[in-house]
């Protein structure tokens, strides 16, 4: 499809154009610019804000479907649900499970990756700390095993894009090296590691912090642990779950100020309940109860993922970073710096952290993945590879 789109606001190439336009051809962005386009407009959106499609690098499911229990149809169901909320690129995150179950899920999600429904697999576990396992089934946790790792890599055939592990486990640093050699992004998470152990993992090639602060040894002024090591390293991208539950807004602002939007990736950590309301659900082997939109392990206070969507995360971070509140005359949508930061953290930074070329930006040569937002930053239309969805 060849089309020219104009909009009241377009965020392209790290700039906010009011107004702006994009020319799309064969699923790619051919040209962009400010003001009026040099050719007839096919789709005019004078009151809309056009931003890059969101990139969620940590998502366990949504719309009633769970990636850890994936089938071909439920994988599409979860991806389609999040796409309707502006997520055009998703990593399907698994949880700790038996070797056989991980292999089965990897096979299903590998096929979904090759079919283009998702961008790859995120193995969150099973090589995690028992002391910081969160909603993971503690019975399925184990130390990294070279044979299991090679078996998973072979079965996935290049579709595992990220793995989360705890660097203090025996064999963890060798696992980091093996995954890096295989082209897999390594994240540190669900960890009780000391500062030096975390630094060793970074030196070995780890480049992402899985949901910083959550399920890891807390920061202490005499025991900085993993948080300080991950936050201070300029080569590490830090995930934040900005759902209003996992982190206080002041913590989010502090991390953004310390690391900058170029190092912060906002994620949902969503599970099947996203978009489905309160009730009983499953996350891997764990029973989960959702009350008032908050997912917790049944009978426990442990948070079990979230019910967030990336558009809600986008709105929240614009509010957190805008120079004025939503009650102001123009609202946060009129704050260029807040819009640029939100786009960076929901699209550009996660795409770069995952090594996805042409994704997370709107510019000539990029894939035509975009989200049309109204003045309240709610999704009105979504385009994937040049086609409206």
Return the SS3 of 110.
helix
- Over residues 175-198, the mean pLDDT reads 99
Q: Is 117 annotated as a binding residue?
A: no
Q: Is 304 annotated as a binding residue?
A: yes
Please report the pLDDT score of residue 80 as a whole number: 98
Q: Tens digits of per-residue pLDDT, 55-96?
A: 999 999 999 999 999 899 999 999 999 999 999 999 999 999
Residues sharing a CB contact under 8 Å with residue 254, sequence separation 6 or more, in sequence order:
none
Token pair listed for 122? 């995120």
Q: Tens digits of per-residue pLDDT, 319-374?
A: 988 764 443 435 667 799 999 999 999 999 999 999 999 999 999 999 999 999 99
Q: Is 211 annotated as a binding residue?
A: yes
Q: Where are the domains of the chain?
A: 1-51+360-388, 54-316
Q: Is 259 annotated as a binding residue?
A: no
Q: Is 182 annotated as a binding residue?
A: no
Q: Which residues are catalytic?
A: 269
Q: Give the C-alpha separation, 50 to 64, whole Å.
A: 28
Q: Is 2 annotated as a binding residue?
A: no
Please report the pLDDT score of residue 64 as a whole number: 97
Work out whether the CA dihedral 56, 58, 60, 62 comes out positive or negative: negative
Q: Tens digits of per-residue pLDDT, 92-140?
A: 999 999 999 999 999 999 999 999 999 999 999 999 999 999 999 999 9
What CATH architecture applies to the domain 54-316?
Alpha-Beta Barrel (3.20)
Q: How far is CA 237 from CA 5, 12, 156, 199, 227, in A?
A: 32, 22, 24, 14, 12
- Tally of CB atoms within 10 A around 84: 16
Return the SS3 of 62.
strand
Q: Is 149 annotated as a binding residue?
A: no
Please report the pLDDT score of residue 329 as a whole number: 36
pLDDT score of 203 more than 50? yes
Q: How far is CA 367 from CA 34, 57, 82, 177, 356, in A?
A: 19, 18, 18, 31, 11
Distance of CA 246 to the CA centre of its chain: 15
Q: Is 303 annotated as a binding residue?
A: yes
Q: Is 215 annotated as a binding residue?
A: yes
Q: Tens digits of per-residue pLDDT, 276-320?
A: 999 999 999 999 999 999 999 999 989 999 999 999 999 999 998
pTM: 0.96
Q: Is 214 annotated as a binding residue?
A: yes
- DSSP assignment, residue 270? B
Q: Tens digits of per-residue pLDDT, 246-263?
A: 999 999 999 999 999 999
Q: Tens digits of per-residue pLDDT, 215-235?
A: 999 999 999 999 999 999 999
Query: CB–CB of 252/107 below 8 Å?
Result: no
Q: Tens digits of per-residue pLDDT, 33-42?
A: 999 999 999 9
Please report the pLDDT score of residue 105 as a whole number: 97
Q: Does domain 1-51+360-388 have CATH number 2.30.40.10?
A: yes
Q: Is 222 annotated as a binding residue?
A: yes
């Amino acid at each position: 499809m060849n089309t020219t789109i104009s909009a009241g606001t377009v965020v392209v190439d790290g700039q906010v154009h009011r107004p702006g336009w994009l020319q799309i051809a064969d699923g790619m962005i051919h040209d962009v610019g400010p003001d009026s386009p040099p050719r007839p407009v096919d789709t005019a959106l004078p009151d809309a804000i056009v931003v890059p499609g969101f990139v969620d690098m940590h998502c366990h499911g949504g719309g009633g479907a769970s990636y850890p229990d994936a089938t071909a149809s439920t994988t599409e169901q979860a991806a389609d649900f999040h796409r309707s909320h502006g997520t055009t690129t998703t990593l399907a995150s698994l949880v700790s499970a038996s070797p056989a179950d991980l292999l089965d899920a990897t096979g299903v999600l590998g096929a979904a990756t090759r079919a283009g429904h998702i961008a790859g697999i995120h193995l969150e576990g099973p090589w995690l700390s028992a002391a910081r396992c969160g909603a993971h089934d503690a019975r399925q946790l184990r130390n990294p095993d070279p044979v299991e790792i090679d078996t998973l890599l072979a079965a996935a055939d290049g579709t595992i894009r990220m793995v989360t592990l705890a660097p203090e486990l025996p064999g963890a640093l060798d696992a980091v090296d093996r995954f890096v050699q295989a082209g897999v992004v390594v994240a540190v998470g669900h960890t009780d590691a000391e500062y030096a152990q975390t630094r060793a993992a970074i030196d070995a090639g780890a480049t992402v912090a899985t949901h910083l602060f959550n399920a890891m040894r807390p920061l202490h002024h005499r025991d900085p642990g993993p948080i300080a090591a991950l936050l201070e390293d300029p080569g590490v991208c830090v995930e934040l779950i900005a759902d209003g539950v996992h982190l206080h807004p002041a913590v989010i602002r502090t991390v953004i100020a310390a690391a900058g939007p170029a190092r912060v990736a906002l994620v949902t950590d969503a599970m099947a309940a996203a978009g489905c309301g309160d009730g009983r659900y499953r996350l891997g082997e764990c029973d989960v109860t959702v009350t008032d939109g908050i997912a917790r392990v049944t009978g426990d206070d442990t948070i079990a993922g979230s019910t967030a969507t990336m558009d809600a995360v986008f709105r929240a971070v614009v509010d957190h970073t805008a120079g004025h509140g939503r009650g102001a005359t123009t609202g946060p949508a009129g704050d260029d710096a807040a819009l640029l930061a939100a786009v960076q953290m929901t699209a550009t930074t996660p795409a770069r952290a995952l090594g996805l070329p042409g994704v997370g930006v709107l510019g000539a040569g990029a894939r035509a993945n975009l989200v049309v937002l109204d003045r309240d930053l709610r999704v009105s239309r979504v385009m994937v590879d040049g086609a409206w969805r």
